[in-house]
Amino acid sequence: MIYDFDQEINPHGTNSVKWECVPSDNGLVPWDKTDPALGNDRVLPMWVADMDFCSPQPVIDALVERARHGIFGYAVPTERYYQAVVDWMARRHGWQVEPDWICTTPGVVPALYVLVRTFVAPGQKVLVQPPVYHPFYRAITDNGGEIVRNPLILEDGRYRMDFDDLAGKLADPNLKLAILCNPHNPIGRVWPADDLRRFGELCAEHDVLVIADEIHGDLILPGERFVPFASLGQDFARNSITCTAPSKTFNLAGLHTSNIIVPDDELRNRFRQALNASGLPWLNPFGITALEAAYAKGEDWLAQVLTYLNGNVDTLDSYLRERLPAVRLIRPQGTYLAWLDCRGLGLSEERLKQLMLDEARLLVEEGSIFGPEGEGFLRVNIACRRTTLVEALDRIATALAARASAPA
């Protein structure tokens, strides 16, 4: 089947977080409770990480068939569900996962909260690599942990790990957990196997458990290669817990289905006990159906969407070089998130945010929410129609031109 990712789909009236809410200090706020200037017809949302594309047709068909059954009681995964996950990991990533290793949760972020609570006592430390996905910070501090930063280094247009700094930070006996993000959100870096191996060896040397957030691991752009951390060998598997989900891959975030893969028996038993005590709900029955259909029949759609996303990256890169040279794309290797270096504009963080929202009328995520290392950057979701992407870029260009021509 040929999919049309240029098709316009009306998102309004669907309770969409992306299209019908704005983030605020008090959580999500519906559009109609905010400044009228932020109306749906005026602001283009490119912030939260879900796609503007329909999910694969086999997934839609499976959900329609499940809905026709008419009974929507509690549901638990069966052998078919676990085998779908096992087969997907083997087929896509060459990782041999045992069904017993899989712990189901309604999301990676809720699972991360439970993981921190389980393996980090209040006052103990957790390492992150900023700029990084901002819920990591809250998961640590909300559970009484202390954040330790191992900032990434931007060099020649690509981020790399600072292993000297990492080794020093891991030597702290009070540091118990290190969160690895691969592909790395928001920068789109897919970490090579050698870097993963060195990261894992340093963590093992200092008895630090690795939590690998690999939720974007299927969204690898053409020409790049993704290596699951735990697939590097038994020693890496035993000292790690991997967070995965079909949600980013197939645009299924609202179905709240994720899989936390824990090869080590002792770690898995502790995590399952904590899950049972956490009050987290069982999986959504539609999420179970969607995962099984996506992993069995969704690869053709995924191949096409990755090709389209790569075209969006090329479009974005070309536009910036030709019309907005002061803004530089840190070219992603994975995810559908573009990390834009706007420091060449010479604007403060607040002024950059104001330019995007009030003048360009774009809702994007300012880089500082991913850590102070992100100041002067923007994260933009490019999982949208190409015409939408170009419209967003035109808005930025127009806003900057108006600013340049305004009286001093």
* Residue 98 sits in the same domain as residue 232: yes
* Residue 310 sits in the same domain as residue 216: no
- Per-residue pLDDT band for 182 (boundaries 50, 70, 90) equals very high
* Residue 142 sits in the same domain as residue 276: yes
* Residue 304 sits in the same domain as residue 293: no
Interval 36-53: pLDDT, tens: 555 555 789 999 999 999
* Residue 224 sits in the same domain as residue 266: yes
Interval 67-118: pLDDT, tens: 999 999 999 999 999 999 999 999 999 999 999 999 999 999 999 999 999 9
* Residue 227 sits in the same domain as residue 313: no
Residues spanned by the domain of 161: 70-297
* Residue 159 sits in the same domain as residue 247: yes
CATH number for the domain spanning 103: value is 3.40.640.10
Number of domains in the chain: 2
* Residue 378 sits in the same domain as residue 343: yes
Average pLDDT over residues 18-40: 69
* Residue 173 sits in the same domain as residue 81: yes
- Per-residue pLDDT band for 35 (boundaries 50, 70, 90) equals low
- pLDDT value, residue 37: 55
Average pLDDT over residues 125-131: 99
Beta bridge partners of 275: none
242 three-class SS: strand
* Residue 279 sits in the same domain as residue 393: no
Alpha helical stretches, state H, 21-162: 57-69, 79-93, 108-119, 135-141
Neighbours of 25 (CB within 10 A): 5
CA count, 13 A, side-chain hemisphere, 204: 16
Residue at token pair 């921190």:
116
Given 255, 282, 297, the domain boundary residue is: 297
Given 253, 277, 297, the domain boundary residue is: 297
The pTM of this model reads 0.96
What is the rounded CA–CA span in Å between residue 191 and residue 183? 7
